[in-house]
Amino acid sequence: MDQLSPSAQKIQNLLNSLGYTYHVIEHVESTRTAQEAADRAGCELGQIVKSLIFRGKTSGKPILVLTSGANRVDEKRISGYAGESIGRADADFVRAVTGYAIGGVPPIGHTEKMETYLDEDFLPYQTIWAAAGTPNAIFELKTEDLQIMTNGKIAQVKP
């Protein structure tokens, strides 16, 4: 695809405005799941950034967990970091706080600022791949840049 869809272009514009030279790639095929994204990118499953939104059960605040495509998130552990019980956010909440639908949520450019945790399992990788606003758009970036872009706290997120 030569021209990016509006949501993917929004992420490309944000990357450019932040001074990065990363390029959003929009595929004809889906990148909705971590495995599909890894297949399209030609990388290991562990290099895929899953942007998962949780909701504080007391505060109602959004919490972003950027986890490796190979991992599941330990909600009890994240609750400990967040200082309150958390639950998976529903599709309407995810769209409201990020501006994107589940399956294409990027790690940056959200409607609301949110507490962010970054999976320590990304650290061995020089580059990783993240969603770029649609269920078929991704971009490659340096692992350390993800931490800078998101101001995420590096943490153990898997059980």
Asked whether 35 and 47 are in contact (CB, 8 A), the reply is no
Q: How far apart are the first and last CA of the chain?
A: 38
Q: Does the residue 1 lie in any domain?
A: no
CATH of the domain at 146: 3.90.960.10
Asked whether 106 and 51 are in contact (CB, 8 A), the reply is yes
Q: Which residues constitute the domain of residue 14?
A: 6-155
d(CA 19, CA 22): 9
Average pLDDT over residues 7-21: 97
- Smallest CA-to-CA distance from 57 within 43, 76, 37 is with 76
pTM summary value: 0.95
pLDDT (tens digit per residue) in 88-132: 999 999 999 999 999 999 999 999 999 999 999 999 999 999 999
Asked whether 38 and 90 are in contact (CB, 8 A), the reply is no
Number of domains in the chain: 1
Name residue, tokens 């297949």.
Answer: 39
Q: Look at strands 48-56 and 137-142 and give their pairing.
A: unpaired
